[in-house]
Structure 1
């Protein structure tokens, strides 16, 4: 499906009907990474409308020269929400950069959000200021690595702390497939010149007191986990989990725990 925001086309997918859930993916990838990890949670839940968006310059969404920073990215996402589900309350899910944008939505329109899931969110946008652990591989699969193309093996080594055929197959299908579609020049320009919001995204007028879930990988060398402690007071109803044997693709490396914790979050939202 397509939605026009100004002069760009935003690609998105809607699955199911009922309470809206807006799902935002990370940088360079596309919405398929999120459908793959979120849809299994809803196998037995039929009353939610899952809205998976391709952010500008990613997946099948367009890009434009006037989109120069994350402030504009956030405005586009908010415009999209107002077009697709005007005046409706919704749940919000954000992975990595999508978690950064999700906190922007909380900052701007928290009154419409009934629950929040942050998966390995970008906390500190300035890469040089992040408190990240050194990348390590806890379980290496040398046989698998020997069967991969050198570039794929290099990516797998740099992006995962647990290696297996199952994890590689998911990574190739859900992560690499999106990266190959990305407008890399457009995204690199934002990353270099406008990745950080112009405002303090975590300075809220009121704490967000709706059921929340914040999941982090203990071995995540991309966004880390320690910086997330700084935002925890903003979310008094949050379950805050730091999972072992999990890097930035926590939902793939620890899929069973991920499904369990997300299901519990949905239950808390329903009971609130």
Structure 2
């Protein structure tokens, strides 16, 4: 089952999909702001947050899980926004959706290309937390710091910590993510061109969307437009929430 958080209850449906190691809560403040105009549904992807675990978490399988959730909740048409890995899930959904189901698509700081591995040490660190079940958040951070030196990245990862009777554990299926990691790095499985109006938003300082990706994007998304948020990296929605939210509203309205 897919778990989701709803914000607002008037206006068209907007489904928001987080990235790798994230969850619905990452989008809390953005969703609150967008809820003035939309009924916002922030999804926990399989293996993340409170959603079920999934072995072999391929893009077609994750896309299908969200379509099933939408059908169950009688959400027949919607706008779709995905960040990073969630952007790839969103692209996969757009490629598979029947005409008219997804009205507009926003892809945040990711391209439909294969990426090089960059989370191997993080996965080792998360496995170490799972194994030792630290007694406090401070202890978990100390453990993770041996694998990831960047404090902001660690703080983001440790948002997945939950207290259990044995100590702190993670609301992530770390082993499933590790097993699916090579698939996660690949581009979505897209056999059709996507004609839906699509906005790609890039963080100026991020290298997840680069100039040489434009050809691949335009070949699959001929109806794509591009915006850059200045002085922002890969987490542009967290770094620059106001310009980000206004871009989203302007494109969807």
Smaller-chain TM-score range?
A: 0.7 to 0.9
Matched, 1:208 2:195: yes
The answer to whether the 8 A contact 2:115-2:186 is kept is no
Compared CA separation, residues 208 and 109, structure 1 to 2 (3 A): same
The Cα shift of 1:97 comes to 0.7
Cα deviation, 1:213-258, whole Å, max 9, x if unaligned, reads: 210112214x243354121354455431123321110112222221
**Structure-1 residue corresponding to 2:89:** 101
The Cα shift of 1:187 comes to 0.6
The answer to whether the 8 A contact 2:7-2:31 is kept is no
2:159 maps to which of 177, 188, 193: 177
1:16 maps to which of 1, 8, 26: 8
**Structure-1 residue corresponding to 2:110:** 121
1:8-87 matches, within 5 Å, as: 9-17=1-9, 18-43=11-36, 45=37, 48-65=38-55, 67-85=56-74
Compared CA separation, residues 209 and 63, structure 1 to 2 (3 A): closer
2:210 maps to which of 202, 222, 225: 225
Cα distance in 1 for partners of 2:70, 2:32 equals: 20
SS at match of 2:233: coil
Compared CA separation, residues 175 and 92, structure 1 to 2 (3 A): farther
The answer to whether the 8 A contact 2:83-2:107 is kept is yes
Compared CA separation, residues 227 and 31, structure 1 to 2 (3 A): farther
In structure 1, the gaps of 5 or more residues are 1-8, 129-148, 160-170, 268-272
Compared CA separation, residues 256 and 101, structure 1 to 2 (3 A): same
Cα distance in 2 for partners of 1:175, 1:241 equals: 27
The Cα shift of 1:54 comes to 0.6
The answer to whether the 8 A contact 1:225-1:242 is kept is no
Cα deviation, 1:59-78, whole Å, max 9, x if unaligned, reads: 1112144x443332222122
What's the TM-score, normalizing by structure 2? 0.73
In structure 2, the gaps of 5 or more residues are 118-140, 162-169
Cα distance in 2 for partners of 1:215, 1:64 equals: 29
Cα deviation, 1:111-166, whole Å, max 9, x if unaligned, reads: 211111111125323426xxxxxxxxxxxxxxxxxxxx773982247x5xxxxxxx
The answer to whether the 8 A contact 2:89-2:188 is kept is no
SS at match of 2:227: strand
Matched, 1:155 2:150: yes
The Cα shift of 1:105 comes to 0.9
What's the TM-score, normalizing by structure 1? 0.69
Number of residues of Structure 1 aligned to a counterpart in Structure 2: 217
